Amino acid sequence: MSFVEYGDTIKDGDTAIVFLGHESMFPVKVQQGSVTQTKYGVIRHSTDLIGKKYGSKVTCSKGGWVFILHPTPELWTMNLPHRTQILYSTDISIITMMLELKPGSIVCESGTGSGSLSHALIRTVAPTGHLYTVEFHQQRAEKAREEFREHGVEHLVTVTNQDVCKNGFGVSNIADAVFLDIPSPWEAIGHAKSALKAEGGRICSFSPCIEQVQRTCLAMEEYGFTEINTLEILLRVYNVRTVSLQIPDLGKAAEDNSSTGFDSSNPSHQGSPCANLQQGTVQFKSGVPLREVVGHTGYLTFATKS
């Protein structure tokens, strides 16, 4: 099992996603002889998972069923254990595009955190690229190494435990892109410039506060970066629902109905547009925004090494 290569069959030691619904799923490590409890009953790894195909519908002990999905960076972002605040797919998608990443790219990242962005970067640069990720916190760095090994991507990533603001990324003049998600990114701009290739490398800094953005932009200008711009991604989700809208009474419909002998009590007329008009409402399919939406997540500042 690998997060960057699809496998058909569930094997012992795999990380799989137990899918109960779009709002309910969780990861599980498949192990011979283990069981997993769900609200629909028990899943026995030996008989219900190992040897089955990913995407299979598995019946639990209480008669309910779940789907077992192959892990992807998108599913991992929604289900990973949080060690820090993470980036979600809305920001990750624009980061990978604006950094111009592709298979074979070399990327430097700090900090690793919970590994949400790291998995997406690894999948983007695979199979010939590489991610150099730096984490200041030792336990988080060790946990990240363990997860990358379990997920079959350890050959595509190097995890370093050090302070990027003091010691840099440990590489020079090879990176196609650098991503910074640290409290004081302006202190790491010089190291980011050293890690980037001679010309044309891209940098992105994620900061939740505009004061951090201001200091980072000044540092980027000082080190000669160009095309500096900051953006913010706001996601607004709409649900498609059937809504009833009031029809204004303009008088003409009633006159036309009486002149043509329309009888609203006739069952054959109940589904007609005139019947809806007579009742004063009509139904439409409409997009309705959620009452609660995700607001500000952070500012993304991009620049190019000239």
Residue ranges of the binding site for S-adenosyl-L-methionine:
114-117, 135, 163, 181
Cis preceding linkage at 127, omega within 30? yes
User: What whole-number distance in Å separates Cα of residue 71 and Cα of residue 90?
Assistant: 19
User: In angstroms, rounded to a whole number, what is the distance separating the alpha carbons of residues 71 and 53?
Assistant: 13
Strand partners, 25: 19
Contact 95, 232 (CB under 8 A): no
Are 191 and 164 in contact, with CB atoms under 8 Å apart?
A: yes
Integer Cα distance of 13 and 1 in angstroms: 8
The answer to whether residues 145 and 175 touch, using CB atoms and an 8 Å cutoff, is: no
**Largest distance between two CA atoms of the chain:** 88
Q: Give the β-pairing of 299-305 and 202-207.
A: antiparallel
b/e burial code for range 2-17 (CB count within 10 A of at least 16 → b): bbbeeeeebebebbbb
- Residue ranges for the known binding site are 114-117, 135, 163, 181
**CA 127 from centroid of its chain's CA atoms:** 21
- With the C-alpha atoms ordered 260, 266, 268, 271, is the resulting torsion angle positive or negative? positive
Residue type, 274: C
| The 24-29 sheet, strands edge to edge | 24-29, 15-21, 65-69, 57-59
Contact 15, 27 (CB under 8 A): yes
